[in-house]
Amino acid sequence: MFPFFSEEEKAHIIRNTHSAIYKKGATIFSEGEMPGGLVYLSSGKAKICKKGILGKEQIIRLIQSCQLLGFRALCAGEPYGASTQALEASLVCTIEKECFLSLMKTNISFALAMLQHASRVLGYADLRTVALLQKHLRARLADSLLLLASTYGMEDDYQTLCGRFSRSDLANLANMTTPNAIRTLSTFQDEGLVSINRYNIRLLNIPAICRISSHG
């Protein structure tokens, strides 16, 4: 964001920003809370999730470092519509609400950038909704593996997903039950598409995983 601001505006932002470290599994903000400012994931990984029917968790979006959190609720003046949880130790910075809103009113370039960012997120949400509603289990799981790879990257072997992900997280991301996710993941392993070592997942045949995803 800083290229949009003058030195005076940067100093104003710094004075009105506070930071905190969240341990793995800690809640950064909860559904129903009112936003206190613009939240920025400086480092780490996080997931945005929402409780559905019977308390079932649905992962809406994965967040990597250097991304914004909860700006829709902040701009709308509404409570958070979902919760955000750290997937690993994460550094989170928050620009106070009054500071953020004043910059939106006075800095047109910054306001336009925020609008463009919100539009991209909405476009992504539309694509995810269609995929979750229309694709079968194998394709949804393939989508989720590719999403984890594109969001969080790979280890030095260019196969192992960065980060450790539980089967329930994978199931929630793919809109599946945990038993279905485990069975489908086991099938992928039998077919030589992936290799699983506890929480570590290696993608052994990315082109084949992409084909499963694209065929729906």
Residue 106 sits in a domain whose CATH number is: 2.60.120.10
Q: Which long-range contacts (CB under 8 A, 24 or more apart) does 158-163 make?
A: 159/195, 159/202, 159/203, 159/204, 160/200, 160/201, 160/202, 160/203, 161/200, 161/201, 161/202, 161/203, 163/45, 163/87, 163/88
pLDDT at 52: 76
**Domain interval for residue 62:** 2-131
* Digit-coded pLDDT (tens) for 173-206: 888 899 999 999 999 999 999 998 877 899 999 9
**Residue 183 and residue 113 share a domain:** no
pLDDT at 33: 96
**Residue 207 and residue 193 share a domain:** yes
In whole angstroms, give the CA distance from residue 25 to residue 46: 9
pLDDT at 4: 83
Span 91-100, mean pLDDT? Answer: 96
Of 97, 131, 165, the residue that ends a domain is 131
**What is the three-class DSSP state of 101?**
helix
The helix (H) or strand (E) run that includes residue 186 is helix 178-190
Span 132-140, mean pLDDT? Answer: 87
Of 131, 165, 181, the residue that ends a domain is 131
Residue 184 sits in a domain whose CATH number is: 1.10.10.10
In whole angstroms, give the CA distance from residue 135 to residue 167: 19
**Residue 195 and residue 141 share a domain:** yes
**Residue 121 and residue 154 share a domain:** no
Span 11-16, mean pLDDT? Answer: 95
pLDDT at 34: 96
Give the rounded percent of residues in the chain with a pLDDT score beyond 70: 99
**Residue 121 and residue 155 share a domain:** no
Task: Please determine, for residue 132, whether its predicted confidence score (pLDDT) is greater than 90.
Answer: no
How many structural domains comprise the chain?
2
Task: Please determine, for residue 216, whether its predicted confidence score (pLDDT) is greater than 70.
Answer: no
Supply the mean pLDDT for the chain: 90
pLDDT at 129: 80
**Residue 89 and residue 36 share a domain:** yes
